[in-house]
Amino acid sequence: MRHPSPHKPRFLEVRRPVSRRQAVLSAIAIWVLFFGIWLIASESGMVNPLLVPSPVQVFETTWNLFVDRGFIGDIGISVWRVVLAFAMASALSVPLGVMMGTFPAIEAIFAPFVSAWRYLPAPSFIPILLMWFGTGEAPKLALLFLGVVFFLITLVMDHTKTVRKELIETALTLGANRKVTVLNVVLPAVLPEIVTAMRQMLAMTWTYLVIAEIVASTTGIGAMMMRARRFLKTDEILSGIIVIGALGLLFDLLFKAAHRWLFPYLQEKR
């Protein structure tokens, strides 16, 4: 039969949504494949077990790190750094970005400044940050802050600019002044986009966290991984990678849940 009947879709159909069941099975399959290859490669001796420990060993090590070695403390410090630096960056970026997106006069002042900084890789500041702030928490927080703040300002500004002119003009003809227009129309209109932008930028904060902790820290997940490297503990390094991945995923899910909870009206599209 050369022409498949329309009732029996082929596996590859252009833009045809898959069922929930197929989506779940596909997701499981790709991970089973990944761990399967890893397991076979390490157990069969195809690779040096010192460099690639088996997944079973990595999970045992991860368990031990939590139970016996106080890994939770390192995780706590890392999470705290990310959350604090990200909160500071957001506290500056959201109001500034909204103002820049609303008032061209404010944009004219800050946009040339912000876009220049955006092209400077934040890690290039590590040496000077270490000289200014020493070895405490400050240089790490500063790096995370610098790495994320200019991108977040730009994203918030761009999203604010997409708030439709008619919404603003409606507010004005209802008698709104500038303050009411910004706080009661522009801000709520753009807030869902801001929360999405924050979710994306939080992932970037994790990237800078690992850089900060690998380069200049004795605490945190990144520092633990660098210690493990010194003692050739590949299993511990891989544990660190897995935990960072899991934390990133967890924060992403939290943000998605917050988005649903904050903006119920976006869920009920007809």
Contacts to another protein by CB under 8 A: 164, 166-167, 169-176, 180, 184-185, 188-189, 191, 263-266, 268-270
Q: Which is nearer to another protein, 31 or 261 (CB)?
A: 261
Say how many CA atoms lie within 13 Å of 32 toward its Cβ: 6
Q: How far is the CB of 262 from another protein (least distance, A)?
A: 10
> What own/partner pairs with CB < 8 Å and gap ≥ 24 does 133-140 have?
135/216, 137/81, 139/212, 139/216, 140/81, 140/85, 140/209, 140/212, 140/213, 140/216, 140/217
Q: Which is nearer to another protein, 7 or 164 (CB)?
A: 164
CB 124 within 8 A of CB 183: no
Q: Which is nearer to another protein, 130 or 172 (CB)?
A: 172
Q: How far is the CB of 180 from another protein (least distance, A)?
A: 5
Q: How far is the CB of 103 from another protein (least distance, A)?
A: 17
Q: Which is nearer to another protein, 68 or 166 (CB)?
A: 166
Question: What per-residue string of b and e applies to 140-150 under the rule 16 or more CB within 10 Å gives b?
Answer: bbbbbbbbbbb
Q: How far is the CB of 270 from another protein (least distance, A)?
A: 6
Q: How far is the CB of 166 from another protein (least distance, A)?
A: 5
The rounded distance, in Å, linking the Cα atoms of 87 and 78 is 14
Q: Which is nearer to another protein, 194 or 228 (CB)?
A: 194
